[in-house]
Amino acid sequence: MSVDRVGEARTDGVAETATTAVAETATTAAAAVRYYSVAPGVRLNVRSGPGTGYPVVRVLAEGARVPIYCQTPGTTVTGPYGTSSVWDSIGDGAYVSDAYVHTGSDGYVAPRCG
């Protein structure tokens, strides 16, 4: 991405970064989030944390696609896409096992949650 010009606003003689730079950063971060398909024929449990010991907060319908905002280690689960201890954060307090999400990788495809 290129930026032709980032404007500056002066307040009491001190330069401040224009809000356009912040908006571009937020837009870039949002654009980096990719959506992935849940395994066919699966109604996937969404849990409040990265493991099977956390409560189910909702269930995704068959054919769902999910955003992966970040990933974190948790309970090891075996699913259609292998055995994995990676859990995908699909929203605030919403995690699914990566073993049920078709990411095309056995490892991390998003930043670590932190």
Q: Which of 2, 33, 53, 8 is nearest to 109 (CA)?
A: 33
pLDDT tens for 7-21 read 444 444 444 433 333
Backbone angles phi, psi at 90, to 5 degrees: -110, 5
Q: Which of 49, 29, 31 is nearest to 97 (CA)?
A: 49
- pLDDT band at residue 38, thresholds of 50, 70 and 90? very high
* Residue scoring higher pLDDT (101 or 11): 101
pLDDT exceeds 50 at position 27: no
| 36 vs 88: CA distance, rounded Å | 11
| 48 vs 70: CA distance, rounded Å | 14
pLDDT exceeds 60 at position 103: yes
pLDDT tens for 44-80 read 999 999 999 999 999 999 999 999 999 999 999 999 9
Task: Work out the percent of the chain whose per-residue pLDDT is above 70.
Answer: 73
Q: Determine the residue type at 68.
A: I
* Polymer length in residues for the chain: 114
- pLDDT band at residue 31, thresholds of 50, 70 and 90? low
